[in-house]
Structure 1
């Protein structure tokens, strides 16, 4: 735990502004993560795009991707979309659904083709998805993660990248890879 965090805790002067000032840019090096940041229950830090002042480590990116995917799996779509500099959620969900439908079709084209909006009406199928392997580019700026449905890798993968912005670095994506 950082000295600054310890002093704030002892002084009782923590508030959303002081927490955010510490969380932004210092991240884990200051003893902060999503589980122990100090904000009030109404705080939106954990629902906002995280900005790093230095390029985030691969483990930090993978943690955000796992959290993003965990929120998707539980149907918390808008919260997931707010974690990263996000592409349209509908496209991501439709691509994942198409990958799931291809796996479950068993060669019968009609059994795999659901009603046009079925995947949007009942998101329970997201709970059957999982993450498989993470694959990093040689530059360390892009990662794609394989997706499973009922423990079987589907044809759709999600790609994320570390993107520079005026205030530092953010995680952007996902794009869908086939």
Structure 2
């Protein structure tokens, strides 16, 4: 009996105890994973391609649930069939890719729809910073922007463009060049 008591005592002393869980540290703004040479596509419920994001390298930050992308190239397809292409030196995307901040040589181009080319020509926005809301078809910037729509060119200190409402607002020192329509021959 004494041997059994001694064995139980030894077993209780040598069994490790579990320390209480350490309090969770708040996440730091350091990448938790990265990808190189990637392409991410998202589809609508019917299986149609909604958008595609490509980049040289991307880093995910858990504290903000954002992706920082080197040399992003984004293609988005609107419900009316128009294609929007965006690119920059660097981009910051939210978790679902619905918002992308384009930084450094940012360009957003909305291609002209083939059947409505005259009424809705190609439009291109250029600047050092453009914030694109892909699903809402909006682009805003608080930095100088150059806008080309067809043959017309406009420049302003800030931009607020809403394609669904068909409203474009340039603010600040706004300048524009309107080209005359070519006569049909």
Normalising by structure 1, what TM-score?
A: 0.26
- Which one has the largest radius of gyration? 2
Higher strand proportion: 2
Which structure carries more relative contact order (alpha carbon 8 Å, separation 6+)?
1
Higher helix proportion: 1
